[in-house]
Amino acid sequence: MTMSSSSNLINTLDTIQNQIIRYVYPLWLVFGTIGCLFNLVVFSRPKLRTTSCCVYFFAASAIHLLTFGIGLGPVLYSLNNPDPQIQILSFCKIRGYLFQLSIILSRWFVAFACIDRFASTSTKVQLRNFAKTKIAYRIIIIIIIFWSLICIHRLIFYEIKGNLCGIISNTGAALYHTAYVIFAVGIFPSVTMIICAWLIRKNLIYQRSRRAQFSLTIIQRHSLNQQVLNILFMQIICYIVFTLPQMGNLIFSTISTTIPNRSDQHLAIEKFVLFIGEFMLYLFGVTSFYLYTLTSRTFRLEFIKFIRLVFFLHCKRQITPIIVLS
Residue 323 lies in a domain: no
CA torsion, points 85, 88, 91, 92, in degrees to nearest 10? Answer: 50
pLDDT for 275 equals: 82
* Type of residue at 99: F
Banded pLDDT at 62 (limits 50, 70, 90): very high
Amino acid symbol at 242: F
Whether 58 contacts 43, CB under 8 Å: yes
* Burial bucket for residue 268 (CB in 10 Å: 0-12, 13-18, 19+): buried
Give the bridge partners for 161, in sequence order.
164
- 112 within domain boundaries: yes
Q: What integer is the mean pLDDT of 101-113?
A: 91
Q: What is the pLDDT of residue 254?
A: 66
pLDDT for the residue 33:
94
For the chain, the domain total comes to 1
Distance CA 11, CA 17 (A): 10
Long-range contacts of 189-193 (CB under 8 A, 24+ apart): 189/107, 189/108, 189/110, 189/111, 189/239, 190/236, 190/239, 190/240, 190/243, 192/111, 192/114, 192/115, 193/110, 193/111, 193/114, 193/232, 193/235, 193/236, 193/239
Q: Which pLDDT score is estimated for 326? A: 43
User: pLDDT grade, residue 139 (50/70/90)?
Assistant: very high
Q: Is residue 313 part of a domain?
A: yes
- In the predicted model, is pLDDT for residue 130 greater than 70? yes
Q: What is the mean pLDDT of residues 102-126?
A: 88
pLDDT on residue 196: 85
What value does the mean pLDDT take over residues 114-125?
85
Percentage of the chain exceeding pLDDT 70: 83
Q: What is the mean pLDDT of residues 230-253?
A: 73
> DSSP class of residue 161?
E
Residue 214 has pLDDT above 90, yes or no: no
Indicate the range of 69-73, 171-175, 261-265 predicted with least confidence: 261-265
47 has a pLDDT exceeding 50: yes
Q: Residue 165 — φ and ψ, nearest 5°?
A: -115, 120
Is residue 273 within 8 Å of residue 253, measured between CB atoms? yes
Alpha-carbon gap, residue 288 to 231, rounded angstroms = 9
Q: Residue 170's pLDDT band (boundaries 50, 70, 90)?
A: confident
Residue 261: is its pLDDT beyond 70? Answer: no
Instruction: Name the band, by pLDDT with cuts 50, 70 and 90, for residue 164.
Output: confident
Q: Which amino acid is at 276?
A: I
Residue 98 pLDDT: 93
Q: Is residue 324 in some structural domain? A: no
Tell me, yes or no, whether 294 lies in a domain. yes
- Per the structure, the complete domain to which residue 149 belongs is given by 3-318
Helix axes of 3-23 and 264-286: crossing angle, nearest 10 degrees: 20
The confidence score (pLDDT) of residue 310 equals 81
Percent of the chain topping pLDDT 90 = 18
Interior/surface letters 40-60, b for 16+ CB within 10 angstroms, e for the rest: bbbbebeebeebbbbbbbbbb
Beta bridge partners of 159: 166
Residue 119 has pLDDT above 60, yes or no: yes
Is the separation of the CB atoms in 42 and 302 below 8 Å? Answer: yes
pLDDT of residue 2: 56
Would 325 be classed as within a structural domain?
Answer: no
pLDDT attached to residue 210 = 62
Which range has the worst mean pLDDT, 22-31, 111-120, 207-216, 287-296?
207-216
What is the three-class DSSP state of 62? helix
Q: 270 in a domain, yes or no? A: yes
pLDDT in tens, 80-101: 888 888 888 999 999 989 988 9
CATH classification of the domain holding 133: 1.20.1070.10
Question: From the CB of residue 34, how many other CB atoms can be counted at a distance below 10 Å?
Answer: 12
254 belongs to a structural domain: yes
Q: Does residue 137 register a pLDDT over 90?
A: yes
Q: Give dist(CA 289, CA 65) in Å, integer.
A: 12
CA dihedral 107, 113, 118, 122 (to 10 degrees): 160
Query: What pLDDT digit, counting tens, does each position of 8-37 carry?
Result: 777 888 888 888 888 999 998 999 999 999
Give the residue from 244, 254, 248, 235 showing the smallest Cα distance to 281.
244
Average pLDDT, the chain: 81
pLDDT of residue 163 exceeding 80, the answer is no
Q: Is-contact 270 257, C-beta < 8 A?
A: no
Do the beta carbons of residue 112 and residue 56 sit within 8 Å? Answer: yes
